Structure 1
Amino acid sequence: MLDSVLGGPDLPQERKLVTAIPGPRSIALAGRRHAAVPAGLTSSAGVYAAAAGGGVIVDVDGNSFIDLGSGIAVTTVGNAARQVVARTSAQLNQFTHTCFLATPYEPYIEVAERLNGIAPGDHEKRTALFNTGSEALENAVKYARVATNRPAVVVFDHAFHGRSLLTMSMTAKNLPYKHGFGPFAPEVYRAPMAYPYRWPSGPENCAAEAFSQFAQLVDSQIGSDAVACVVVEPIQGEGGFIVPAEGFLTKVADFCRDRGIVFVADEVQTGIARTGAWFACEHEGIVPDLIATAKGLAGGLPLAAVTGRADIMDAAHPGGIGGTYSGNPVACAAALGVFDEIENGQLLTRAQAIGEILTRELKDIAASTDIIGEIRGRGAMIAAELVFPGTRTPHRDAVAELARYCHNNGVLTLTAGTFGNVLRFLPPLTIADNLLIEALGVLRDGFASL
C-alpha cells in the first residue's frame, strides 16, 4: 500500500504509468485474493486501488488511471469528496450505529427530507432508507403490493434490478446474473423495452409498438387488476444505457395511473445528478409513484432509498419495513455531504457539460470507424454500442479489446449491454475537461489499433 498517497480532490490529476499493468503489488494482491476470495467475485480491472479523487484512481504500484466508471456510478461527486469526508468524519466521532428502528437519529430524517424535497411532483412524500439498490427495489415492490393488495410485478427486457432473489428474478440477463441460481421468484412478468436502435420495424415505430405490446401483456395475459407495480429504469444501465423511445415511458406511466398500478422508477444508476437532473425521469416530465435510489446517493457508503407518495409509503404495517443497518448514520452523513457537493459545485450543470464532451468526442471517433452503431445516453451517462461493420450484429470482442487497451494505457472503463457489446462512460462529475479529453484520446488510439 502507498501509505504516502492521499486521496480526494487534492490527488494529482494526471494519467501516469510507472510499471507494467498490472504492477508487482497488484499481482501479489491478486495471488492473495485467489486464496481468500471466492472465484465468483470478479473484477474488471486487474489493478488494486490505493487512493482516488477528482477524476483519477491511483493503484498500489503508483500508477494513476483516469476514472471513467465512478465505481459503477457511485462516486458521482468524486471519491473522498470534501463535504462527504467532513460530514462522515464528524458522525464517526459521535456514534457509528444505534439502529434507526431501536434508537432513531436526525441524519436519517434529514436525508428523507432532502429526497422528499427533490423528488418530482408536488404531492406529499415519504422516504425509507436501506443499504443497497436491490433492497430498495425489493421494498418498493413490498410497498406496492401492500398498497394495492395485488401480487404481480411487470419489468422489461434488458433490465437490471439487482442480485437478490426477487431483483434477480426481475433482471433480464441470464449470464452472469441468473445462471444456476434458480428457481426464481413468482409473479414477475417481462414486457419488451422500447429499444430504438434494435426495434425490428425501426425507431420511428418503437414507442407505439412497444407500448402496444406492454399494454396487451398487462391487460390480456396478466390482468391489470392483478398488477401491483411496473418497475422500469428511465435509462437502462447494465442493459446498455438504453434510452427508451421518446414518449414510451409517458405512455406507460399514464397507463399505470389509469389502472391503479404503482409506477416505480428504478433510478439506482441514473439518479442523484448523473444525467444532468436529480432524476432521469425528469427529462420526460414523468412523476413516478415510487423512486428507488442508491449508488450515487452517499458518495461510496452503502445507502439506498425508496421515495414516494405518502399514501403508498404509509400502507405498510408498523414493523413491516426495516433492517438492522438500514439508514446507517455515517452513510446518512455521507449523503448529506453529497447533496452539499452537488448544490455547491453546480454538478447538475456539470453533468450536462460532461455529456456534451463525451458525445462530441465519441461522434468524432465514430467518423473514423465503422463499428460504432450508436452513441446514446444523457448527461454524464453515455455509451457506445459496437457492431460488426455494415450490420447490427453485436461486436463483443471489440469491446473487450478496447477495454483492455484502455486499462493498459491508464484509463479505467466499464462495459455493459445484454450482448456485452457496449462501452459505457460514467466519469465522476469532478473530472476536469482536459483529463476527460485525454482519456477519450486513449480510446481513440484503441479504436485505431483494432
Structure 2
Amino acid sequence: MEKSQTAPDQNTFGITSSTLLDTAYLESLFNNDPDKVTEIEQPAKDPAKTVAPDTKSTPVIPANAAPQESTIIEDASFLDGLTDEDKEPAEEVKPSAAPKSDNPSALQENEKETPSKSGSLQSNIITFGKELYQVGILTTEEGQEPAPVNNTEELIERLTQEKQKGAVQILENILSHFGPEYRTAFDAIYLNGVHPREYFQQAEKVASLEGLDLSVPENQKKVVRVHLRSLGWDESKIAAKIEKLENYQDLEEEARDLIGPLVANEKKAMEQQQRERQQELSRKAAMDQEHQQIVGRIIDDKMKLKEFDGLPFDEKTARAVSGYMLEKKWQLGDSQISDFEKEILDLSRPENRQAQIKVALIMHLLKIDPTLSRLQRKAVTKEADKMFAFLQREESTDKKQGRKRSNFIDD
C-alpha cells in the first residue's frame, strides 16, 4: 500500500514553510542592529494617480490611512476592530424625483436634442488626443502613425509613458556630457544595485592596471606580484620569483605578458559583482513578493469569515493588520521593512525584556493551543460564573422576601 503524500508543514498562522521565509527572511531581520533602522521619507502622493491594489492578494490599505503606532497594543484601530460590532451600512440616499413639467412634449424634445454624456466625453477625448500630438506633448516613434486616444484610460497611459520618456531623455542629456565611465558607473550602481564603495574599489583596480607604464621597474614588479598573489603564492616565494626575473632581465617581458590577462580578470570580476548583486536583488524581491502574497491571502480569507480562530476579524481589523505587517515604512540597510518587522527587531533591545516575555508567552500558547481554545473556554466560563452568581443572588433575595421563583425546567 502506497504512503499518502504528506501536506507541507504549516506553522501556527497557516503559512506554508519555505526556504525563503524560514531562513533568509528571518535572518535578514535578526542579523541587524535596530539602531540602524530609519524612517522612509515618502514623497507626496497624488490621490488622482493612486491605483487600488488587488484585494485578492493583499487587502487594500487606504493611502490616507493614519500612520500606525509603535506597538500593537497602542493601535486604536486594531483594538476597535476586536471589540466593536460591525457598523450598519449608511442609509442609501435616493435621488430626488425629476421635476414635473407641464409640457410633456417639450420635455421629450429636450431629451432628443441632448446628446449622451459618455458619447460627448469620448468625442472630446479623441479630439484632445489629436491636439496633444499636434503640439508635441504626445509623440510617436519615427515612421509610425499617431495611435488614437479613445478614452480616459488610454490618455492617462500615454501621458505616463511620455513622462517616463522625458525622464529618460533628461538622464541621457546629463550622461552625454561625460565619458563612458560615468554611464558604466551609473548602470552598475543605480540599475544593477552594486554598492558605490564596492564598485569604485574594483574600478580602481582596473584603472590602476590599465594605466601602468611598464617601462618602470616598480610597475613591472607590481604586475608580477598581483599575478602571483592571485595564484596563492606567499610573499617570500613572490619576492624570490621577482628577484630571479630581475637577475635574468626577464621582469619587463614577464610583466607585459601578464598585464592583459590581469586586466581582463579584473573586468570579469566587476561583471561578476554586478551579476551577483542582481541575483541578490531578485531573490529579495521574490522573497518579499512571497511574503506579501501569503500574508495577504490569509488576511483576506479570515476577513471573509469575519473571525480568526475565534477572534473577531472584520474588514476594519484586516486593514489595520495588513498595513501593520505589509506597508514598508522603515529603511534597514538596502531593505525596507514594516512596523511589524521593526518591532520584532526592537525586541532584541535590553529595555524590552518584559515585552520579550509577553511575546514568548503568546508564542508558547499558540504552539500548544493554535486556536487559543483554552482562552476562549476560560472567557465563556467567566461569563457563566457571573450569570450563575447573579441567579444565586436573585434566588436568595426571593427567599428572603417570600417570593416563589418559577423554573421553566419544572413547569
Identify the TM-score tier after normalising by the shorter chain.
under 0.3
Q: Tell me: higher relative CO, structure 1 or 2? Use CA pairs within 8 A at least 6 residues apart.
A: 2
Q: With structure 1 as the length reference, what TM-score do the two structures score?
A: 0.20
Q: Which has the higher strand share?
A: 1
Highest Rg: 1 or 2? 2
Q: With structure 2 as the length reference, what TM-score do the two structures score?
A: 0.22
